[in-house]
Amino acid sequence: MPNQDVIDKTTTVAADSPAEAASVTPGRHSFSNFDEFKTYLVDVLGAKVEGEGLRGSISRKGRLSRPAAEGSQPASLGDPVLEAISSPDGRLVIGDETIDLRDAGPPTTPDGPDVGVVAHAAPLEFTGIVNGAERWASADGSWVEYRLGTGRLYFHAWKKKSITQYWSMGAEISVINTPAKFQVADIESRYYMSVDTPCQVVRVDQDSDRNDTYLDEYEWGWNSQQPERVASRCRAVWHNAKFADLVTAGDGCENAPNDPNNPWDAGFPADWNTVSTLVNLSGDWTDGSNRNAVISVQFASLTVNMSAFNRPTANGSIDGWDTITVTFPDDATYTGRLETPNRIRWSNNSVWTKVINTVMDLNGNWTDGSDRTAVIYAGAKSIKIDMSDYDRPNASGSIVDSSSISVKFPDDRTYTALLQAPNTIQWSNGSSWTRRL
């Protein structure tokens, strides 16, 4: 298992599985010789010894962070492997050699020191409009960028080797310049190397993430043979739309990613589709007591916040128009039958009723008539509005009475609104929102 003093939040390290890292604390950075250094990386990152060198796999979710040396700025290296073996100022000592790992990490980019693993050097060319977003791509196939509003979603494959004999290659998905995170994303990568025959697939890796701004998966090595090429299928749901591309980087094996005998799966996972239901599940529910469970829905999955009952969060699935299945970790798995107007009848014969404190249920998606969506979460008295699809910060407010609300938009001002059943919010500035089904 990895050393938790070195990598915080590492969840899986096995011989054939990538290490996952989000927050890194610089660990040991001085070694008497290379053998000691290798032993350390095997223990910390689950690396494999290969001849005189090492190789391993990493998957990273979320932006990488690390503390700085006292009195200095963080020496961000943008790579969990390098972070785990560097001093706070970015140096590694092996025997009598001191290595400045800042030379091995990614270059600083206009978007900051940790936008991704490597900044693209080739110019991007506009290729058209996809789901309302401008698509820009590099001629070498390594970079695809979608531009929507102020935000950018990019898919990027890289292959890199430094003078330290450290190499890395893989793919990343990132969102920048907007509060609109990707709702779900995944990467599947194939690594090509000529061993017994030219351009064999020697490794296949994949990983996924939800509600985040960064995901990568990559292979790395130190003083070991590097694959010739990586090809990665990147997919994401961003701004409620689906995007997918194949990106590739390397030398040689140019035709391998498009091998007709080894095609990539087409389309998107079935559980990335939103399932319509008889009853709006999002919001507060009561079992008849004065305590509420809070249901949140994303695609075909749901979570139930049971904290008001001093119970752990439950998770489940939307099985169809009128059926859900939920596992309560401190109890059992139950099915729920949805009944109009606002009830869930559970398989243990208990019944939950939706808590609605206004003339209409405010929970869910709303639009001002554009292709953007605001998501309202209404509690007993409070309201939160996710405005990220508009590239705006979240708003919050309160229920004034059954037919009016007051909401503060931090980038604008406070507005009141009249609620007009069945599905209209009339704001005090003259604009209106309608429910998006």
- pLDDT per position as a tens digit, 81-94: 888 888 888 889 99
Angle at 14 between CA 16 and CA 185, to 5 degrees: 70
Asked if residue 2 is part of any domain, the answer here is no
How far from the centroid of its chain's Cα atoms is residue 256's Cα?
Answer: 28
Percentage of the residues of the chain whose pLDDT score is greater than 70: 86
**Residue-level pLDDT at 44:** 86
**Residue-level pLDDT at 13:** 29
**Residue-level pLDDT at 121:** 53
Q: Return all residues near 404 (Cβ < 8 A) that are at least 6 apart.
A: 416, 417, 418, 419
Among the residue ranges 118-122, 224-228, 277-281, 344-348, the one predicted with the least confidence is 118-122
Judgement on whether residues 195 and 91 belong to the same structural domain of the protein: yes
Judgement on whether residues 188 and 142 belong to the same structural domain of the protein: yes
Number of compact structural domains in the chain? 3
pLDDT tens string 340-356: 999 999 999 999 999 99
Among residues 200, 226, 259, the one where a domain terminates is 259
pLDDT tens string 241-290: 999 999 999 988 999 898 888 899 889 999 999 999 999 999 999 999 99
Q: What average pLDDT does this structure show over 187-204?
A: 93
Distance CA 209, CA 282 (A): 22
**Residue-level pLDDT at 260:** 86
Judgement on whether residues 293 and 369 belong to the same structural domain of the protein: no
Q: Which two tokens stand for residue 292?
A: 């509420």
309: containing domain: 283-354
**Residue-level pLDDT at 426:** 98
Distance CA 418, CA 425 (A): 6
**Residue-level pLDDT at 86:** 84
**Residue-level pLDDT at 403:** 97
Distance CA 170, CA 350 (A): 50
**Residue-level pLDDT at 5:** 30
Judgement on whether residues 96 and 241 belong to the same structural domain of the protein: yes
Distance CA 17, CA 37 (A): 21
**Residue-level pLDDT at 82:** 86
**Residue-level pLDDT at 359:** 96
Sheet holding 241-250, edge to edge: 200-212, 182-193, 229-238, 241-250
Asked if residue 276 is part of any domain, the answer here is no
Residue 323 clears pLDDT 50, i.e. is over it? yes
Q: Which of 332, 329, 334 is nearest to 306 (CA)?
A: 329
**Residue-level pLDDT at 110:** 36
Question: Mean pLDDT, the chain, as a whole number?
Answer: 87
When pLDDT is cut at 50, 70 and 90, the band that residue 230 belongs to is very high
Residue 148 clears pLDDT 50, i.e. is over it? yes
Strand partners, 76: none
For 233, phi and psi rounded to 5 degrees? -90, 120
Amino acid letter for position 408:
K
Asked if residue 346 is part of any domain, the answer here is yes
**Residue-level pLDDT at 51:** 86
Distance CA 31, CA 188 (A): 35
Distance CA 5, CA 13 (A): 15
Judgement on whether residues 339 and 206 belong to the same structural domain of the protein: no
Percentage of the residues of the chain whose pLDDT score is greater than 90: 69
Judgement on whether residues 175 and 222 belong to the same structural domain of the protein: yes
**Residue-level pLDDT at 277:** 96
Residue 169 clears pLDDT 80, i.e. is over it? yes
Asked if residue 61 is part of any domain, the answer here is yes
Asked if residue 169 is part of any domain, the answer here is yes
pTM of the entire predicted model: 0.85
Judgement on whether residues 176 and 318 belong to the same structural domain of the protein: no
Judgement on whether residues 347 and 370 belong to the same structural domain of the protein: no
When pLDDT is cut at 50, 70 and 90, the band that residue 65 belongs to is low
Residue 9 clears pLDDT 70, i.e. is over it? no
Q: Which of 301, 263, 261, 262 is nearest to 282 (CA)?
A: 301
For 282, phi and psi rounded to 5 degrees? -65, 130
**Residue-level pLDDT at 66:** 53
**Residue-level pLDDT at 22:** 44
Dihedral-angle region of residue 7 (phi above 0 means left; psi in -120 to 50 means alpha; beta otherwise): beta
**Residue-level pLDDT at 10:** 26
More confident residue, 238 or 196: 238
Asked if residue 271 is part of any domain, the answer here is no
pLDDT tens string 380-400: 899 999 999 999 999 999 999
Judgement on whether residues 40 and 114 belong to the same structural domain of the protein: yes
For 311, phi and psi rounded to 5 degrees? -125, 155
More confident residue, 107 or 280: 280
Among residues 259, 291, 313, the one where a domain terminates is 259
**Residue-level pLDDT at 122:** 63
**Residue-level pLDDT at 113:** 39
Distance CA 1, CA 187 (A): 25
Judgement on whether residues 175 and 212 belong to the same structural domain of the protein: yes
Asked if residue 265 is part of any domain, the answer here is no
Distance CA 19, CA 86 (A): 18
Judgement on whether residues 190 and 287 belong to the same structural domain of the protein: no
Judgement on whether residues 186 and 39 belong to the same structural domain of the protein: yes
